Structure 1
Amino acid sequence: MSAPHQEEGTRGTSAGPFRQPRAVWAVAFACVISFMGIGLVDPILPALADSLDATPSQVSLLFSSYLIVTAVAMLFVGWVSSRIGAKRTLVTGLAIIVVFAALAGSTDSINGIVGFRAGWGLGNALFIATSLAVIVASASGGFAGAIILYETALGLGIAVGPLLGGELGAISWRGPFFGVAVLMAVALVATLAFVPDLPRPQRRTSPVAPLRALRHRGLLTMGTMALLYNWGFFTMLGYAPYPMELDAHRLGLVFTAWGLLVAAFSVFFAPRLQARFGTAPVLYANLLGLGVVMTVIAAGVGSPATVVVAVIVSGAFIGINNTLTTQAVMLVSPVERPVASSAYGFLRFIGGGLAPYVAGKLADATDLGVPFYVGAATFLLAIPVLACGHRLLREAESGTGDGEPVTPSFTPVPANAPVGARPVVVAVGAHERAAVIVDSAARLARDTDSPLEVVHVRLTAVVEEQAVDTETEEEARRAVQAHLDRLGALGVAATGQVLGGVGDRAAAGRALARHAAEARARTVAVGRSPRGASAQFADGSFTSALTHAATCTVVLVDPDAEPRTLTARSLTELRAEA
């Protein structure tokens, strides 16, 4: 193998995902505890009702106060972060969570817990809006390693949260609250000690920008779909524990199994289903599946075993929906990612917050099955709402290969290639050996009398319900312009493009393939990926996706070997060599 270098076409370096500085580990630990949050409390809901003489509808307000405050706070977190910086925003959120989680465990009334959960929701909004961005900015191994680490934290938090909540809840209903407070205090100290101050955004965000963004039809449509989806989701999460008739320990095991499916289908299966069938078709089928599962829960509310199995199975659908709904929002949104995330977060958390309150009122007035029927209806209602934005989503998805041209700092030397000749496209990333890859592609273009085009994919990474740009637009343009200027100084003419992609590395590969088809490229040249098969399975393979989607020849440019045409078989051989 050649010396390690990144998978060309996207930003990052080859350092392993777990070889990261202490700053990344500190925030990742906090992410694990944060993702535990909801699942940690779920196993103790029946115990809370019994211990505090509260009805299920009163206990459900734990979710409502938490999520509604989170929703409203999401409108302002961008404004706060752009003024005090990402680290201070993160630290403030962690401190608020510590204080209000401890207060929730100290109170003796259900109203007190509901109120303190509202404060907890404020801290949660500040934390989740900045955690992924801080990890990506602090990672030594480039964004790819940071994303894998974030996904690992997500999976651990979702899976371990209910298990820990069940164990602590079996001792006392106060245990999960104090457990979160202690663990978040450790994360707070680690964040203060190890995370450096990060530069503030050059442009401050207006507090009304997220609401203004909802004037865009695509963002409003996808956000409304997310509101309806989260309505059904939090109806299930808030009320399913009661008909199961299990103690805290067994409830913890049930929701651990559920959480494992959520994490697995969110990270591994959702991107692959999207690549195979498209975002909208998968979401249609998934929302229908959720509607069926919720109907089963409603009809079988008198059978604990039926409810247990249906809830666990729903984890697969929820994992897919969390990832693809976020991608749909980012695909259609015409505004900056932080603003789109805030607007989307506001709508989805509002849906999640109102659902438990309404479900409680319905359960008190009728019977426990009615809230689940309503939840099923909201899942099904989300389908025609999504259909209203289907054309926008399809156009946005097919247009992710569109690019912005990059102009050299000087007038380029006229190209020798014939007018109308099909170009050689080389995919580049910000890596020390990228220049060698580009030079090899330039020789290939010269030998075939083809123009040369240098392309870089600027990726918006999506992990479940969070999204972050992996680099700024200016960084992406500089990555291309540096190659154009260097080639020009050597007398080699070339053009440049910066493409956009939403999702994992495989999504970036498909974006490049679409661009190559539109440019009628003769060949696409890429560098060898140093990442093993497991890492490529975790966050997708740029080269594999490009090779399968491209309509032209894809050539592996290895500085230490002859250029090699890639096929599905040769990709398998490369992974075996790695």
Structure 2
Amino acid sequence: MNSTGSSVSIWRQPAQVWAVAFACVVAFMGIGLVDPILPAIAGSLKATPVQTELLFTSYLLVTGVAMLFTSWISSRIGAKATLLIGLSLIVVFALLCALSGSVDMIIGFRAGWGLGNALFISTALATIVGAASGGSSAAIILYEAALGLGIAIGPLLGGLLGEVAWQGPFFGVVVLMAIGFIAVLTLLRGPFEKREPVPFSAPFKALGRPALGVLAIAALFYNIGFFVLLAFSPFPLGFSAIGIGLTFFGWGIALAVTSVWVAPILLRRMPITRIILFVLPLLAIDLIVAGILVAIPMALVICIIVGGLLLGIMNTVLTEAVMEATDLPRSVASSAYSAVRFIGGAVAPPLAALLSHLWGDTVPYLFAGVSVLIAALVVLFGRRALAHIDRGSHDAAEDAEAILIGDAA
């Protein structure tokens, strides 16, 4: 076991790490923030469900494509400048969303929000890895904790503010992201920031590495299941904004718990590919059951929360796998992988709404379940390319578990 892990607690980090982590929480809140207000936006702006789901698509598609270039940008202007530009863009475009008068305007401004999100998120993980005490295992756990907390709080805040007006959640993001900007501006400094220019082609070449390519393709199909559950479910639930917010708050808490506490335990006991091949079929079953029971709101709520438990494990395991997949700079590996998986997420919401319109609410969940099974097959047939990750996963997991426990006593 790594000696560092036995003496360092994940919760004892420099102020600059907490500044980036806080901004991560707010950035990830932006993913689920609009979830509770989707029906309200559709009603207020006279938009169809397919149009409304494009709020996710424009955001995720631009996020994914832009991530192919963020490592090139950050290697030239520095991590701090990249983070601040990303946060600034999110503030500006979230404000423009709040002031919009049509769903088409919001769709366009969410694309600008996605650009800011790409600059921020892809740089944030590499920044936390470089600055965190306890090495990459501690950084990944902290990053996933921020992701889980942000995804949990986003829908709840969106539901509370959405009860006042559909514009409320957007104004909430403006305020919180402005605070995050100030925190990063004042607290982020240190020797972690290395200016080593990354070639423009680096992320594209990275995807040619077998291990990273397998993980990226699997994540593309996995993210389809993720975003069908997140983005489509508010419509068949039929709840008010606060009801949807509370449902996905429970989902986010479940995701955070398993990503921070359960995933490291599983990584200590099982190779990464075995965990993936165990959890993905369970997630597919959960999505199929959700489709079968979609007309029963409480059954759908249970399926959503169970899905959160499984998604939390997958998020941490996949992030750990990507960080260990190649000897490339972490920002390059993270950007290349994230670009592909976000593009998968961009496809899912409007396609789910269209499938629902054509054949009913059951079909989107069946589509999501099949997509997750395809992700499992990609990993199954690509296990040889991932063999070196399996060999190193036990040491990384032991470090992660030790760091998580740390010296909390």
Which residue of the other structure, out of 95, 103, 106, is the alignment partner of 2:96?
A: 103
Q: Distance between the aligned counterparts of 2:121 and 2:41, measured in 1?
A: 27
Contact 2:25 2:150 in 1 (8 A): yes
Match of 1:522 in 2: none
1:50: Cα distance to partner? Answer: 1.1
Matched, 1:38 2:31: yes
Match of 1:335 in 2: 328
Which residue of the other structure, out of 301, 311, 321, is the alignment partner of 1:318?
A: 311
1:400: Cα distance to partner? Answer: 6.6
Counterparts of 1:53-202 in structure 2 under 5 Å? 53-138=46-131, 143=135, 150=143, 152-196=145-189, 200-202=193-195
* Cα separation, partners in 2 of 1:292 and 1:177, compared to 1, 3 Å: same
1:245: Cα distance to partner? Answer: 0.9
> Which segment drifts farther, 79-88 or 232-241?
232-241
Contact 2:141 2:260 in 1 (8 A): no
Give the CA RMSD over aligned residues.
2.6
1:132: Cα distance to partner? Answer: 3.2
Match of 1:539 in 2: 404
1:100: Cα distance to partner? Answer: 0.3
Instruction: Please state whether the residue corresponding to 2:385 is helix, strand or coil.
Output: helix
Matched, 1:505 2:388: no
The one-letter code sitting in structure 2 at the alignment partner of 1:62 is L
Contact 1:77 1:125 in 2 (8 A): yes
Matched, 1:305 2:298: yes
* Cα separation, partners in 2 of 1:239 and 1:30, compared to 1, 3 Å: same
Which residue of the other structure, out of 373, 386, 391, is the alignment partner of 1:380?
A: 373
1:367: Cα distance to partner? Answer: 1.9
The one-letter code sitting in structure 2 at the alignment partner of 1:20 is P
Matched, 1:367 2:360: yes
Counterparts of 1:389-538 in structure 2 under 5 Å? 389-398=382-391, 502=396, 505-506=399-400, 536=402
Match of 1:460 in 2: none
* Cα separation, partners in 2 of 1:74 and 1:367, compared to 1, 3 Å: same
Q: Distance between the aligned counterparts of 1:374 and 1:19, measured in 2?
A: 42
- The one of the two structures with greater contact order (alpha-carbon pairs below 8 A, sep at least 6) is 2
Contact 1:17 1:148 in 2 (8 A): no
Contact 2:285 2:369 in 1 (8 A): yes
1:309: Cα distance to partner? Answer: 1.1
* Cα separation, partners in 2 of 1:505 and 1:295, compared to 1, 3 Å: same
Contact 2:88 2:181 in 1 (8 A): yes
Consecutive unaligned residues of structure 2, counting only runs of 5 or more, are none
> Which segment drifts farther, 100-109 or 197-206?
197-206
The one-letter code sitting in structure 2 at the alignment partner of 1:219 is L
Q: Distance between the aligned counterparts of 1:70 and 1:270, measured in 2?
A: 26
Match of 2:262 in 1: 269
Match of 1:251 in 2: 244
Q: Distance between the aligned counterparts of 1:352 and 1:19, measured in 2?
A: 32
> Which segment drifts farther, 273-282 or 197-206?
197-206
> Which segment drifts farther, 147-156 or 28-37?
147-156
Matched, 1:221 2:214: yes
The one-letter code sitting in structure 1 at the alignment partner of 2:399 is R
1:330: Cα distance to partner? Answer: 3.4
* Cα separation, partners in 2 of 1:122 and 1:84, compared to 1, 3 Å: same
1:368: Cα distance to partner? Answer: 2.2
Match of 1:211 in 2: 204
Q: Distance between the aligned counterparts of 1:188 and 1:34, measured in 2?
A: 11
Counterparts of 1:8-47 in structure 2 under 5 Å? 9-10=3-4, 17-18=11-12, 20-21=14-15, 23-47=16-40
1:108: Cα distance to partner? Answer: 1.1
> Which segment drifts farther, 214-223 or 357-366?
357-366
Quote the sequence identity (%): 47
Contact 1:331 1:397 in 2 (8 A): no
1:521-575 deviation line (CA, Å, top 9, x unaligned):
xxxxxxxxxxxxxxx4x6267xxxxxxxxxxxxxxxxxxxxxxxxxxxxxxxxx8
The one-letter code sitting in structure 2 at the alignment partner of 1:17 is W
TM-score (norm 2): 0.92
The one-letter code sitting in structure 1 at the alignment partner of 2:165 is S
Match of 1:293 in 2: 286
Q: Distance between the aligned counterparts of 2:302 and 2:2, measured in 1?
A: 44
Task: Kindly tell me the number of residue pairs found equivalent between the two proteins.
Answer: 408
* Cα separation, partners in 2 of 1:132 and 1:307, compared to 1, 3 Å: same
Q: Distance between the aligned counterparts of 1:276 and 1:77, measured in 2?
A: 35
Instruction: Please state whether the residue corresponding to 2:101 is helix, strand or coil.
Output: coil
Q: Distance between the aligned counterparts of 1:226 and 1:148, measured in 2?
A: 19
1:17: Cα distance to partner? Answer: 2.8
Q: Distance between the aligned counterparts of 2:400 and 2:143, measured in 1?
A: 18
1:202: Cα distance to partner? Answer: 4.5
Contact 2:144 2:315 in 1 (8 A): no
* Cα separation, partners in 2 of 1:383 and 1:191, compared to 1, 3 Å: closer
1:149: Cα distance to partner? Answer: 5.2
Match of 2:231 in 1: 238
* Cα separation, partners in 2 of 1:227 and 1:306, compared to 1, 3 Å: same
Instruction: Please state whether the residue corresponding to 2:283 is helix, strand or coil.
Output: helix
Consecutive unaligned residues of structure 1, counting only runs of 5 or more, are 1-6, 402-500, 508-535, 542-574
Q: Distance between the aligned counterparts of 2:141 and 2:369, measured in 1?
A: 33
Contact 2:127 2:192 in 1 (8 A): no
Task: Report which of the two structures shows the higher radius of gyration computed on alpha carbons.
Answer: 1
1:120: Cα distance to partner? Answer: 0.5
Contact 2:63 2:117 in 1 (8 A): yes
TM-score (norm 1): 0.66
